[in-house]
Amino acid sequence: MIIFLSIANPVSTSAQSVSTSSVNEEFSQLQQVLTAYGFQVNLAIPPVRGTYGLFQVDSKQIWVNPVVFDLGIAVPTLVHESVHAAQFCAGGDKLQLLDLALEPSPRARPYYLRYHAYRREIEAQAYTVQTQPNRVELTIEILHRYCRKKP
């Protein structure tokens, strides 16, 4: 099962490298927490064309397209995929809705309405967290609550 974020359609398909100095502090902080929980964050074009970010359940890999740094959406993209990682932790081997006391933001509505049924609820949670002003702190808190550190 693959879960992906696709805010817009086709993005650059050329390989780009992102230097660690260009990765902002919030992104790095969240990446470190994900790594501590056994997730691998890849700064590379995701294997599903046209996506900015992607979470692969079977391999616990998060892909972040380097173009998101140029677009200024690197942190929201990683937050979104991190919520899917927490949903995976909560569900064991599948994504499960988290017990969050958050209402979906009207700003996020257009992004998750294109999905159907349960997938819509899963995406609504990810988009809702990504639009919060404290999104990084909230995401780290969610990961701590639902995930176990790798041995």
Could you say which DSSP state residue 102 is in? Answer: -
Predicted confidence at residue 15, as pLDDT, reads: 36
**Closest by CA position to 52, among listed 4, 122, 107, 86:** 4
**Number of domains comprising the chain:** 1
pLDDT of residue 132: 93
Residue 43 forms beta bridges with which residues?
Answer: 64
| Amino acid 18: pLDDT | 40
Q: Do residues 46 and 4 lie in contact, with contact meaning Cβ atoms separated by under 8 Å?
A: yes
Helix, strand, or coil here: 3? Answer: strand
Residue type, 103: E
- Specify the pLDDT at position 61: 98
Task: Kindly state whether residue 115 falls inside one of the protein's structural domains.
Answer: yes
- 80 lies in a domain? yes
Residue 52 falls within a domain, yes or no?
A: yes
CB atoms within 10 A of CB 70: 13
78 part of a folded domain: yes
Per-residue pLDDT at 151? 67
In a domain, 124, yes or no: yes
pLDDT at residue 20, as a whole number: 38
In a domain, 116, yes or no: yes
Tell me what pLDDT residue 13 has: 28
CA distance 57 to 39: 10
Q: Tokens at residue 14, please?
A: 């050329």
Tell me if 92 sits within 8 A of 105, measured CB to CB: no
**Looking at the domain assignment, is residue 135 inside a domain?**
yes
Q: List the chain residues with pLDDT less than 50.
A: 1-23
Q: Residue 93 has what pLDDT?
A: 85
Residues 6+ apart with CB under 8 A from 22: 69
> What pLDDT does residue 16 have?
39
Domain span at 115 = 2-146
Alpha carbon distances (Å) from 53 to 8, 29, 71, 101, 147 = 11, 17, 13, 25, 20
Looking at the domain assignment, is residue 151 inside a domain? no
